[in-house]
């Protein structure tokens, strides 16, 4: 690659939430934890049925609270915690200059070598570059032209072995 690819990303709350949601959905789909969640729901719903059948009001109350949490409160509470976390980030609300080079990706002059990235999760909305303890989410909207996006995807596939599509 002779020319470095330069991009700009406005690191706003919406972009952060898109990346966090993509990471969460991917991890849950490919994790044993989702089966634990299903078991939790099944046991809680059986608890509701058992409580109604045998008149166990305490069990019915606990099961109802747990089912309500799982179906109605889990994601809103998580979203609220993520928004608080985002506001504490040093780059929150700022524009980040990104440069893809032969050696890696530079963010505001700090370069991360390609070998630091474990995988790329590509979705219809963007690309999540996972480093294990940190991630970089790049929405598709930062690419002005499809040629530049295609060139970036080719660069990712060339340098990061684990490239996955996820919808």
In the chain, which segments carry CATH 2.30.29? Answer: 5-11+92-165
The predicted model gives 59-78 an average pLDDT of 84
Q: Which residues of 127-154 are buried (b: 16+ CB within 10 A; e: fewer)?
A: bbbbeeeebbbbbeebbeeeeebebbee
- The percent of residues above 90 in pLDDT, for the chain, comes to 47
Can you tell me the distance from the alpha carbon of 162 to that of 54, in angstroms, rounded to the nearest whole number? 52
- Does residue 14 carry a pLDDT above 70? yes
Does domain 5-11+92-165 fall into CATH 2.30.29? Answer: yes
Q: What is the pLDDT of residues 80-95, one digit of tens each?
A: 999 999 999 988 999 9
């Amino acid at each position: 690659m002779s020319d470095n690819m330069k991009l700009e990303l406005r690191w706003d709350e919406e972009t952060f939430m898109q990346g966090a949601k993509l990471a969460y959905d991917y991890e849950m789909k490919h994790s044993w934890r989702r089966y634990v969640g299903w078991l939790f729901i099944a046991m809680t719903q059986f608890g509701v049925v058992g409580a109604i059948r045998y008149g166990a009001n305490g069990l019915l109350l606990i099961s109802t609270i747990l089912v309500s949490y799982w179906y109605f409160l889990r994601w809103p509470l998580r979203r609220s915690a993520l928004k608080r976390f985002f506001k504490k980030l040093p780059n929150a609300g700022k524009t980040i200059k990104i440069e893809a080079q032969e050696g890696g990706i530079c963010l505001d002059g700090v370069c991360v070598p390609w070998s630091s990235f474990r995988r790329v999760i590509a979705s219809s909305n963007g690309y999540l570059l996972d480093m294990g303890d940190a991630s970089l989410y790049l929405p598709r909207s930062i690419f002005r032209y499809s040629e530049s996006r295609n060139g970036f995807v080719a660069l990712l596939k060339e340098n990061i072995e684990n490239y996955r599509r996820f919808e």
